[in-house]
Amino acid sequence: MRFRYGRPHPATPRGAEDGAASGWFGRLLNSMLLQHVTAVVCTVAVIAYSVSAFVPMAPNHRELLIALISGSLGWLMLASLDRQQRAVREVSAREQQLAAQSALLQSTLENMGEGLSVFDRDGRLIAWNSRFARLLALPIDLASASLSDILLQQAVRGDFGPVDPVPEARERAESFYRDVPVVKERTTANGQVLQIRRRAMPGGAVVTIYSDITERKASEEKILQALSQAELANRAKSDFLANMSHELRTPLNAIIGFAEAVSSEVLGPVRDKKQLEYIKDIHTSGLLLLSIINDVLDMSKIEAGKLELTRESVAVQPLIGEAVRMLSERAKNRKLALVATVPEDEISVWGDERAIKQILLNLLSNAVKFSHEGGRVDIRASLDEAGDLVIEVEDYGIGMAENEIARALEPFGQAKPAVTKSHGGTGLGLPIAKGLTAAHGGKLVVKSTPRRGTRVTILLPQQARSPEAAAQDLRATVDPSGAERAVA
* Residue 480 vs residue 412, higher pLDDT: 412
Residue burial 135-162, b: 16+ Cβ < 10 Å; e: rest: bbebeeebeebbbebbbbbbbeeebbee
CB 238 within 8 A of CB 307: no
β-pair partners for 391: 381, 458
Helix 147-157 with 165-178: angle, nearest 10 deg: 130
CB 453 within 8 A of CB 394: yes
- Work out the pLDDT band at 25, boundaries 50, 70, 90: low
C-alpha to C-alpha distance for 317 and 323, rounded to whole angstroms: 10
Does 225 score more than 90 pLDDT?
yes
For the chain, list the domains and their CATH numbers: 2-110 (no CATH), 115-212 (3.30.450.20), 217-302 (1.10.287.130), 307-473 (3.30.565.10)
CB 446 within 8 A of CB 456: yes
What sign does the CA torsion over 46, 51, 53, 56 have?
negative
Does 472 score more than 50 pLDDT?
no
Q: Are strands 376-383 and 337-341 parallel, antiparallel or unpaired?
A: parallel
281-320 per-position pLDDT tens digit: 888 888 878 877 777 777 777 666 665 678 888 999 999 9
Sequence-distant (6+) residues with CB within 8 A of 48 are: 65
Q: What is the pLDDT of residue 222?
A: 92
C-alpha to C-alpha distance for 181 and 186, rounded to whole angstroms: 16
Judge residue 267's burial from the number of C-beta atoms within 10 Å of its C-beta, 0-12 exposed, 13-18 middle, 19 or more buried: exposed
Does 380 score more than 90 pLDDT?
yes
Q: What is the pLDDT of residue 246?
A: 72
417-460 per-position pLDDT tens digit: 555 555 556 677 888 888 888 888 899 999 999 989 999 999 99
- Work out the pLDDT band at 21, boundaries 50, 70, 90: very low
Q: What is the pLDDT of residue 368?
A: 92
The four Cα atoms 363, 365, 369, 373 give a dihedral, to 10 degrees, of: 100
Q: What is the pLDDT of residue 2?
A: 32
- Work out the pLDDT band at 341, boundaries 50, 70, 90: very high
Q: What is the phi-psi region of residue 311: left when phi exceeds 0, alpha when psi lies from -120 to 50, beta otherwise? A: beta
CB 123 within 8 A of CB 174: no
**pLDDT over 70, % of the chain:** 83
Does 413 score more than 70 pLDDT?
no
Mean pLDDT of the chain: 79
C-alpha to C-alpha distance for 252 and 275, rounded to whole angstroms: 20
190-212 per-position pLDDT tens digit: 788 889 999 999 888 999 999 98
76-80, 397-401, 453-457: the lowest-pLDDT one: 76-80
Q: How far is CA 378 from the centre of its chain?
A: 41
Q: What is the pLDDT of residue 337?
A: 93
| 3 state SS for the chain | CEEECCEEECCCCCCHHHHHHHHHHHHHHHCHHHHHHHHHHHHHHHHHHHHCCCCCCCHHHHHHHHHHHHHHHHHHHHHHHHHHHHHHHHHHHHHHHHHHHHHHHHHHHHCCCCEEEEECCCCEEEEECHHHHHHHCCCCCHHHCEHHHHHHHHHHHCCCCCCCHHHHHHHHHHHHHHCCCEEEEEECCCCCEEEEEEEECHHHCEEEEEEECHHHHHHHHHHHHHHHHHHHHHHHHHHHHHHHHHHHHHHHHHHHHHHHHHHCCCCCCCCCHHHHHHHHHHHHHHHHHHHHHHHHHHHHHHHHCCCCCCCEEEEHHHHHHHHHHHHHHHHHHCCCEEEEECCCCCCEEEECHHHHHHHHHHHHHHHHHCCCCCCEEEEEEEECCCCCEEEEEEECCCCCCHHHHHHHCCCCCCCCHHHHHHHCCCCCHHHHHHHHHHHCCCEEEEEEECCCEEEEEEEECCCCCCHHHHHHHCCCCCCCCCCCCCCC
Does 471 score more than 60 pLDDT?
no
| Closest listed residue to residue 167, CA positions, set 150, 155, 179 | 155
29-64 per-position pLDDT tens digit: 566 777 777 777 778 877 877 777 777 777 777 778
The total of other beta-carbon atoms located within 10 Å of residue 378's CB is 17
